[in-house]
Amino acid sequence: MTKRLTIVAFIGIFLAGFLFLRGPTPHIAIKAETLTTVSGIALTNTMITGWVVVATIAIGLFLGTRKWNLVPSGVQNFLEAAFEGFYTLVTNIAGEKNGRRFFPVVATIFFFIVISNWMSLLPGFNMIGWVGSPEDAETQIEEHGFVHGIIFDDTGLGDIRFIPLSSPGNLRVTSDTSVIEEGDPEGEQKYDEAVADGKFVGELIPLLRGVNTDLNTPLAIAIAAFIAVEFWGISSLGLLTYGKKFFNFSGPIDFFVGILELVSEMVRLVSFTFRLFGNMFAGEVVILMFTFLTPLIITLPFYGLEIFVGAIQAFIFSMLTLVFAVMAVSHHGGGEHEEHSGQTAHDEAIDHSTAAHQQPA
C-alpha cells in the first residue's frame, strides 16, 4: 500500500510540475552577461558571483574561528577536519617540506572551486535579474519591427517583472506563446500585442551565474596555478637547471624532448581551463533544460549529480596542480629524496669543516 501511494505521489508531483510549473525555453549564453559598465570595464554577473563567493568564504572563516577553542566543536571542528584532511593528503603526495609550500595555493584552488560550484546550485542563480536584450532593442525594431525574446508580465511593483508559468493550454512543447522567436513571421504582431498589454519582451539577464561557467574564471585559475608551479620549480632548482628541462642543447634528441616538454607545459593551461569550464557549463545547461522540461521530481537527481561533479572537478584541478608542482621541483626524477640527500651531504660537509677549525693546534 505504501509503495503504491509513493508511486501515485511521484506521478502526481511530476504531472503538476509538467502542467503548471514549466517556464519558457531558457536562453543559453556561453558568454557571461554584462550587467553594467564601470569606467569602460564590463561588470558581468559571474564577477558579482565571484565576489559573493570570496565574501562567503571570508565571513564563514571569521565566524567559524573567532572563538577558537583547544578542544574543537561545531563549526571549528568541521573546519579543522576539512583543512587537516586536505593538508594530510597534500603532504602524503608532496612530502612534508614541499607539502607545506604547496598547501596554501592548492587548498585555495580546491575550496574556491568547490564552493563556487556548489553555490551556483542555490535558488536564485540564473533565475533572478532584469529584462535585457542580447542586441540593441531599437536596432531590432528598425530592422525587423519587433524585439525577439521572452514575454515578461508586469507585476505593477516598479521594475519587477516575472515569467508566467505554463498551463494545460500552453504546454510549451511544440509552441510557446510566451516567446517571440527571432525569425517569427508573426513576430511584429506578437510584439505589438505584448506592448499594448503592458508587457516587456527580451531575455533574462541573471544577476548571479555560476563563476566557472564563464571561461575567464577557469582560465584565470589555470594561469595562477601555472605561475605557482613555475615559481616553485625555478626557486627549488634554479633558473638554469629548471630551464634545461625545456631547452636542452646537449643533443638533437634531448632538444626535441625539451620542446615537447615546453609544449606540454603550455597545453596544461588549455586542458585545465576547458575541463573545468566544459563540465560546469554543461551541468548548468542540463539543469536549466530539465527544469524547463520536467520541473520538480526528475530535476532533483541532476542536482545531486552536479554536487558530485562540482566536488570532483575541484579535486581534479587542485590535485593536478599538486602533481605538476611535485614534478617541477624534482630534479631528473630525483624528487624530494634527492633534494634531502643533497641537503644532508651539504650539512655534513659544513659540520666536518667546523670541527676541523675547532681542533686545537
At 323 the pLDDT is: 94
* pLDDT over 90 at 355, yes or no: no
Q: Which amino acid, residue 58? A: A
- 167-216: per-residue pLDDT in tens? 666 665 556 677 787 877 888 888 888 888 888 888 888 889 999 999 99
* pLDDT over 90 at 308, yes or no: yes
Please say if 170 is a catalytic residue: no
* pLDDT over 90 at 158, yes or no: no
Rounded CA-CA distance 85/94 in Å is 14
Which is the catalytic residue, given 279, 318, 341, 353?
279
Please say if 117 is a catalytic residue: no
At 168 the pLDDT is: 66
Which is the catalytic residue, given 271, 330, 341, 353?
271
Please say if 271 is a catalytic residue: yes
Rounded CA-CA distance 35/38 in Å is 10
At 353 the pLDDT is: 42
Domain ranges of the chain: 34-123+210-336, 129-206
**Alpha-carbon distances, residue 138 vs 33, 95, 143, 184 (angstroms):** 19, 62, 9, 18
Rounded CA-CA distance 149/155 in Å is 19
Q: What percent of the chain has pLDDT over 70?
A: 85
Strands (E), 171-250: 179-180, 200-206
Which is the catalytic residue, given 133, 248, 268, 275?
275
Residue pair 228/269 in contact (Cβ under 8 Å)? The answer is no
pTM of model > 0.85: no
In terms of pLDDT, which residue wins out, 348 or 241? 241
Rounded CA-CA distance 341/328 in Å is 18
In terms of pLDDT, which residue wins out, 127 or 84? 84
